[in-house]
Structure 1
Amino acid sequence: MEAVRRWRSDWRYPTALLCSYGFFSTVKPLEPFLIPYLTGPDKNLTTEQVNNQIFPVWTYSYLCVLVPVFLLTDWLRYKPVVVFQCAMLVITTALLLWTESVAAMQVMQFFYGMVTASDVAYFSYIYSAVDLKRYRKATSYSRTVHLLGYTVGSVLGQLSVSFNLMSYKNILTFTLVLTAIALLTSLLLPMPQRSMFFHQRRSGQKTAAEETKGRRDGTVGATEHSSKSKTSLEEVRRERAEGGEMRNDAEKGLEGKRPVAEEVDESVVAQSCSQVVLQLWRDFRQCYSSRELLYWSVWWALATCGYNQTVNYVQVLWDHVQPSQNFSIYNGGVEAVSNLLSAASAYSVGFTEVRWEQWGELALGGFSGLGAVALFLMTFIGNIWVCYCGYIIFKCLYMLLITIAMYQIAAGLSMERYALVFGANNFGALALQTIITSIVVDSGGLGLAIIPQFTIYASYFLAISVVFSLRGLYSVWRVRRNKKEATLPDSEEPPDSEEHGFEIQATKL
C-alpha cells in the first residue's frame, strides 16, 4: 500500500494517466476517410452537403464555446472539462455511427466543436498537476502521445481500408470502444488543487513575486485548518508564520505532492468573477505590450486560420481529384506520414541554432510562401499524388513555423500567462476562420466549390508571405544598422580629453 501511495503522489502518475487519455481519445481510424464514409452508401450525402452545410457548423460551434470553455476550465480545475470532452467525443462518435440525415450530421459537428474547444483543458491540466521542474518532460510526453495517437489511428484506418479488414461502421464501433476506455481513464485523473485565475494557491490576489515568496514560506499547518470563515488574509499569513516551518513540495521537490486545501471561506481567498475578468484584461494588455510578440501572434492567428481551413476541407479536394468510390485511396497513410514528419520538423527546432529574433519574421514569410506554392500545386495540377505530397509539405511547414512562434512568444512573455496568450491567438484565428467560412464555404454565403476555395486559401498564404517577408527584410536591415551604429564608437579609443571627444563627434556627423 505504501508503494501504491508513493506512486499516486509521484508526478509520473497524473502524467501517465493524461498520456493514456490523450492516446485513446486521438486514435480515430475513420478520420482520414470521413468524406468517403459520408458520401458513400452508409450515409448517402452529397459532397456539396458535406462541404457547404455540415462542415461549417464545426467552425461556428467552436467559436461560440471556446471562451466559455476556457473560463470553465480554470474555474472547474481542468479535470471536469477533460471528462466532459471525452463524453462529447462519445456522443460525436455515436451520432456519426447511428444517424444519417444532414441535420443529425450538423448536430454531430456541433458536439465535435465542443470536443476541440475542450483541448485547452487537456494541454493545461498537466501544469497544475505536476511540479514546476517537471513541466518540460510532462509537456513533451503529453504532446508526443497526442500526436502518436493520431498517427496510429491513421495507420489502422489505412490498413483496414486497403485490406478490407473492417467496414467503415466497424471502424467506428472500434473507435467507440477506444473512446470509452479514454473516458474511464479521465475519471481516474487526480483533481488539481489550483488553477491560473480562480484557484490560485489560496492567497487571494497576489503578484508573481508574492506567490513565489509564499511557496518558500511553507504551507498552512494541520492545526490551522480550522480557521474561521471570517479570518482575514493578514491573520492567515500570521498563523502560517507561527505554525512551524513545514516545507512546501515545490521547494522540497516531493514529486508532485500538493498542499492540502485550506478551509478558508471562498469570499476571502477566491477571486470574484469581476475580479477575474479585470485581471484577465490587465494580463492581456501586459502580455501584448511587446511589439515583437504582437507580430508573432498576428502570424499565429492568420496562419492557423488558413491551416485549419486547409486541413478541414482537404479530403473534399482529394475526393474531387480522385473519387474515393472509383479508386483506391491512401488518405490514412498520407496523414500518418504528415504527422510523423511534422513532429520531426517541430522537434528539430530545438536543435537549430538560429537567431529567430532577427531571422524569424523572414522565415515566417519565406516558408509561408512555400506553403502557398504547395497549395497552388494541389489545386491546379489535378494529380492525387501531387495533392498528397503538397499536403505533407504544407503541414510540415506549418508545424515547423508554429513551433518557432510558440517558442518566441513564450520566451518574450514578461509573465507566466502562456495559456492566456495561446488561447487569445487561437481565438483570433477562429474568429477569422468563421468569417471566411461564412463567406466562402457556407451555402448561405458564396458556397464556392472546392477548387475556388483552395485558390483562395493559396492566395491567402501568398499574401501572408508577402507581408511577413517585407517585415522580415526590414527587421534584418534594422538589426544590422543598429549593430553597425553600436560597434562604431567601440572601435575608437576612449576620449582622453575634451578636444578628442569633439573629434569623435565630428567624425560621426
Structure 2
Amino acid sequence: MAPASYYLSHKVMIIIGAFGLSLTYLLAWCGQSLVAMQTMQVMYGFATSSRLVFSSYIFLLVLEEDYQIMTSLTQTVSLLSFVLASELGQLLALTDSSYEIYFIISLVALIVCCASTFLLPADSSSCSLSYLNRLGNPSKGWTATLKETWGGKSLKILSVWWALAFAGVSLVQNYGTTLFDAIDSHSKFNGHILAISEAGGSLGSYCAIYIDKFSYRSRQFIYVLGSSFMGIICVLMGVYTKIWGAYLSYVVICTIYRTFSCLVSVQCGRLLSNGQFILLFSVNNFAGLLIETLLQAAVEVVGLSIYSQFIAFSGLFFVATAIFITFSCIDCRGDESNKYVLTETGPEGILTADT
C-alpha cells in the first residue's frame, strides 16, 4: 500500500479499497466455488489494508495540531458504526432473518461508502516526488527511506509499543469468545459484550483528545501505565473463571487499547520527519501481525489451555512495559548527565545543550 499510495495517490487507493470490500461481499454472497471463496479472502485482505491508507490520508490533509482530533473522531465514528451493526445483527438473528438480508444491508452501506469516496479531497504529499525518485534504485531507495522514517529513538520505541500492543489485543479479541464459551457455554450475551467493548473503545478514542496533552508531557510514563494495566487484565482473564469478570475484563482491555492506539499513532505521526505516514502505519501494523501470528502458532503447537493462553498473551504487554521502563531510566540518566555538564560549563554550556 505504501508505494501504491504514492504512485496512484491515497484517495485512489481508498476508492479501490472500498470497491474491493464491496466485491468481497458479492463473492461471499454469490460465490459457489472454493476458488471464489479464496479470491474473496484475498480481496478482503486488500480492502481492509486500505484502512491504513485512510489513517495516513488524514494526516496529509490536516495540520499537525489537528492530528489527535481527527484521528480520535474518525476512530470513534468507526467503532460506533460497528456497535450499531452488531446490535442490528443481533436483532435480525432474533427474528430468524435469512443471510440475504444481512448481505443486502451490508451492500447498501458499502454502495454509499463507495459513492462517498469520490467526494474526498485530493491528497498531495510534498515528499512523494523524492520518495519515487529514491525508488528508482530499489535497494538504496527503500533502505534510505526506512532509515529516515525511523530515524529517532522515541519513534522507534513508540513503534515497538504499537506492534506489541496491537498483537496482544488482537489475540485477546481472537480468543475472547473462546474464553467466554469455556467459562459458560450457555451464555447468550457474547455478541452484546463484543458490541459494548467497541462502544467503550469509541469512548476511549474520543477521550484521547483530552489525554493528548498529558501523554505528551508524561513522555513514556503513560505507556508504561497502559501496557502494565493491559497485562494485568490479561492475567486476570486467565485465572478468574467467572463469566461476568471475563466480560468486564474484555471490555476494559479493549477500551484501554483503543485509547492508547489513538495516542500512539498521533505521537508517531508528529515525530515523523519525512511525511511517510503510510509507510509508518503499514510497517508497524505488519510487525504487530507478525508477532501475533508467531505467538498464536506457538500456543497452538504447545497446546496450552485457553486460560494459559491468556496468561501467555499478557507477556506481550509486560515486554512493552519493560522496554519503556528501560528507556525511561536511560533517559533519566541522560537528563542527569546533561544537568551535570551544564553546571560545570556555565552559560555557554546551556546554549550549546539547547541548540
**TM-score greater than 0.5 by the shorter chain:** yes
User: Residue 274 of structure 1 aligns with which residue?
Assistant: 136
What does 1:396-435 align with in structure 2 at a 5 Å threshold? 396-435=255-294
- 1:437 equivalent to 2:299? Answer no
- Give the whole-Å Cα distance in 2 for the aligned partners of 1:471 and 1:435: 25
- 1:328 equivalent to 2:188? Answer yes
Q: CA deviation at 1:447?
A: 6.2
What does 1:190-339 align with in structure 2 at a 5 Å threshold? 192=122, 194-195=124-125, 200=129, 205=130, 271=133, 273-275=135-137, 278-323=140-185, 326-331=186-191, 333-339=192-198
User: Residue 464 of structure 1 aligns with which residue?
Assistant: 320
What does 1:387-402 align with in structure 2 at a 5 Å threshold? 387-402=246-261
User: Residue 15 of structure 2 aligns with which residue?
Assistant: 83
Q: CA deviation at 1:346?
A: 3.5
- Give the whole-Å Cα distance in 2 for the aligned partners of 1:378 and 1:102: 37
Q: Which residue of 164, 167, 174 corresponds with 2:95? A: 164
User: Residue 351 of structure 2 aligns with which residue?
Assistant: none
Aligned to 2:275, the other structure's residue is in SS state: coil
Aligned AA for 1:478? R
- Give the whole-Å Cα distance in 2 for the aligned partners of 1:354 and 1:452: 38
Q: Which runs of 5+ in 1 are unaligned?
A: 1-68, 207-269, 495-509
What does 1:50-89 align with in structure 2 at a 5 Å threshold? 69-89=1-21
Aligned AA for 1:339? E
Aligned AA for 1:171? Y
Count of aligned residue pairs for this structure pair:
346
Q: What is the TM-score with the length of structure 1 in the denominator?
A: 0.57
- Give the whole-Å Cα distance in 2 for the aligned partners of 1:193 and 1:399: 27
Alignment deviations for residues 6-57 of structure 1 (CA, whole Å, 9 cap, x no partner): xxxxxxxxxxxxxxxxxxxxxxxxxxxxxxxxxxxxxxxxxxxxxxxxxxxx
Aligned to 1:149, the other structure's residue is in SS state: helix
Q: CA deviation at 1:428?
A: 1.7
Q: CA deviation at 1:138?
A: 5.7
User: Residue 113 of structure 1 aligns with which residue?
Assistant: 45
Q: Which stretch of the first structure deviates more once superposed, 355-364 or 149-158? A: 355-364
Q: CA deviation at 1:341?
A: 2.7
The answer on whether the counterparts of 1:349 and 1:400 sit within 8 Å (CA) in structure 2 is yes
Aligned to 2:274, the other structure's residue is in SS state: coil
- Give the whole-Å Cα distance in 2 for the aligned partners of 1:357 and 1:127: 18
Aligned to 2:188, the other structure's residue is in SS state: coil
Q: Which stretch of the first structure deviates more once superposed, 172-181 or 139-148? A: 139-148
Distance 1:174 1:347, change over 3 A: closer
Aligned to 1:375, the other structure's residue is in SS state: helix
Aligned AA for 1:370? F
Alignment deviations for residues 96-154 of structure 1 (CA, whole Å, 9 cap, x no partner): 446799987666444322222222232344556x5758965765654443233223222
Aligned to 2:222, the other structure's residue is in SS state: helix
Q: Which stretch of the first structure deviates more once superposed, 115-124 or 134-143? A: 134-143
- 1:185 equivalent to 2:116? Answer yes
Q: Which stretch of the first structure deviates more once superposed, 451-460 or 132-141? A: 132-141
User: Residue 353 of structure 2 aligns with which residue?
Assistant: none
Q: Which has the higher contact order (CA 8 A, sep 6+)?
A: 2
Q: What is the TM-score with the length of structure 2 in the denominator?
A: 0.78
Aligned AA for 2:291? L
What does 1:141-152 align with in structure 2 at a 5 Å threshold? 142-152=74-84
Aligned to 2:9, the other structure's residue is in SS state: coil
Larger radius of gyration: 1
Aligned to 1:281, the other structure's residue is in SS state: helix
Higher helix residue share: 2
Q: CA deviation at 1:373?
A: 1.9
The answer on whether the counterparts of 1:97 and 1:173 sit within 8 Å (CA) in structure 2 is no
The answer on whether the counterparts of 1:356 and 1:408 sit within 8 Å (CA) in structure 2 is no
The answer on whether the counterparts of 1:155 and 1:336 sit within 8 Å (CA) in structure 2 is yes
